[in-house]
Copies of this chain bind each other. A is one copy, B any other.
Amino acid sequence: MTDENTSGIFGRGEENTAYAKYFIGQSYLNVLSREGVVIANVTFEPGCRNNWHVHNADKGGGQILLCTSGRGWYQQWGKPAQVLRPGDVVNIPTGVKHWHGAAGDSWFSHLAVEVPGENLSNQWLEPVSDEAYRALT
């Protein structure tokens, strides 16, 4: 597949090396806006997902996902994983433990919109195990 086919209209960008230690599999990052609101298109190869993590902030913060291509997963701690498809929107509040990533048999891309706030930080936690990931249907 071409880059466009696997990453949607906002492009694949560069290998996501800065966050690779918090991901299983290869992801890509195309930063679209650095001012006002930080927005990036994130692309996951099939099977790729990030570790469980939490967005923290003293005020505001969190992340909004706008799905642009392929098929993926989003899961909040303690809830069933939900399938994500192009056009789906996920509002991730601060303090909520979660992960997201591609389906096992599909590339997946979403815009990640960083909600501004005060003292923003990410808390990276354990990986999504192969056993748990493969059990998703």
Known contacts A37-B113, A113-B113; A9 and B86 CB within 8 A of each other: yes
Assess whether B39 is in contact with A66, with CB atoms less than 8 Å apart.
yes
1/0 per residue, CB under 8 A from B, across A51-93: the answer is 0000000001010101110000000000000000011010101
Give A111 to B11 CA distance when docked, in angstroms.
16
Assess whether B36 is in contact with A89, with CB atoms less than 8 Å apart.
no
Which bracket fits the contact residues of A? 20 to 34
Assess whether A36 is in contact with B87, with CB atoms less than 8 Å apart.
no
Q: Does A124 contact B (CB under 8 A)?
A: no
Closest to A34 in B: B91
1/0 per residue, CB under 8 A from B, across A19-33: the answer is 000000000000011
Chain B residues lying within 8 Å of A37, measured Cβ to Cβ, are 37, 64, 113, 115-116
